[in-house]
Amino acid sequence: MMKKVLVLCTGNSCRSIIAEALINSELGERIEAYSSGVSASGLVNPNAKKILEVKNIWKEEYHSKRLETLLHIDFDLVITVCDNASQTCPIFPGKTEIVHLGFDDPDGMGFEEFETCYKQVKEKLIPLVKYFLS
């Protein structure tokens, strides 16, 4: 049975999109990842899309979405990747684990900051997901 993970951020334009794509790429045979924002921007940052394209894991279905659009899904794990999302994260029903793993926001910075974010998410978040859902 596929486990479901939600990566939650404020704007759902950079970090959470990168994390969603990485989880689906690295663990997609057993885990289905989603992302959303507590105040979604409605746009994916062009550099976030670019890093995912460079890594060959971009999918056109990735987009910035509001949390309310995903509340019908029973998540096994919710990961907040920014302090604001951690502080405003709603209560999820059932046995949903909620963990916080913050990353610096690369929005407004150069492409190299998105490369750094990608690397940090891959090195820190992927092992965390494996641990919690094993």
Annotated catalytic residues are 9, 82, 89
Alpha-carbon gap, residue 27 to 16, rounded angstroms: 16
Phi and psi angles of residue 58, each rounded to the nearest 5 degrees, phi first: -75, 140
Intra-chain end-to-end CA distance of the chain, in Å: 12
Q: Contact 38/7 with Cβ under 8 angstroms?
A: no
